[in-house]
Amino acid sequence: MIGRAGIRPPGIDMTYERVSLGEAMATGYRETVAITALIVGFLGDLVTGGISPRSLGSIFTIGEASGQAAEAGLETFLSFMALFSVNLAVLNLLPIPILDGGHLMFLAIEALRGGRALSLEQRLRWSNVGFFILIGIMVLALSNDVMRLMGL
């Protein structure tokens, strides 16, 4: 592991070796699982208080990290983009209504109810709750970025 998120700092050389397609796919799978575990661990620490909510960032943090990764070189930038893609996939699977994980939650509830779906009104209410949860997370992350930019 290079760096906390697998992204190497500038000036550290990497060596490459040819591998078979199967080995490359297996390595990609292992890396994706490791990154997923890192993200899930971060979310768990965030919920349990092991990590401060101030560590959340929004578009400004993403832009800054993207710029740093791009300056470090193509491999680092591509690694960052892979990390970011896995991050989005994991967050999209959270059981928050209006996200894909929320839809999976609705399907699980339907299965537990013997195939009876929630009413349209119930789904709409829960979707509104999910929308406000997402807006709250976005406002928190954006305010963290603004406070960081202001030096607070």
- Tell me the per-residue pLDDT of 15-49, one tens digit each, with 9 for 90 and over: 778 889 999 999 999 999 999 999 999 999 999 99
Domain ranges of the chain: 1-92, 94-152
Q: How many CA atoms lie within 13 A of 102 on its CB side?
A: 18
**Whether the predicted pLDDT of 84 surpasses 90:** yes
| Residue indicated by tokens 């491999």 | 75
| Angle (nearest 5°) at CA 61 between 126 and 142 | 45
11 vs 5: which has the higher pLDDT? 11
Nearest-angstrom CA–CA distance, 77 and 60: 17
pLDDT class for 9, splitting at 50, 70, 90?
low
Assess contact for 96 and 128: CB atoms under 8 A: no
Residue 151 is predicted with a pLDDT of 85
Q: What is the pTM of this model?
A: 0.77
pLDDT for the residue numbered 17: 82
Q: Which residue has the tokens 């709750």?
A: 129
Listed as own residue / partner, the contacts of 122-129 with beta carbons closer than 8 Å and 24 or more positions apart are: 123/97, 126/97, 126/102, 127/97, 127/98, 127/102, 129/97
The answer on pLDDT for 99 being more than 90 is yes
**Tokens of residue 24, six digits:** 């490359």
How far apart (Å, rounded) are the C-alpha atoms in residues 152 and 147?
5
For residues 99, 51, 152, 87, the Cα torsion angle rounded to the nearest 10 degrees is -40
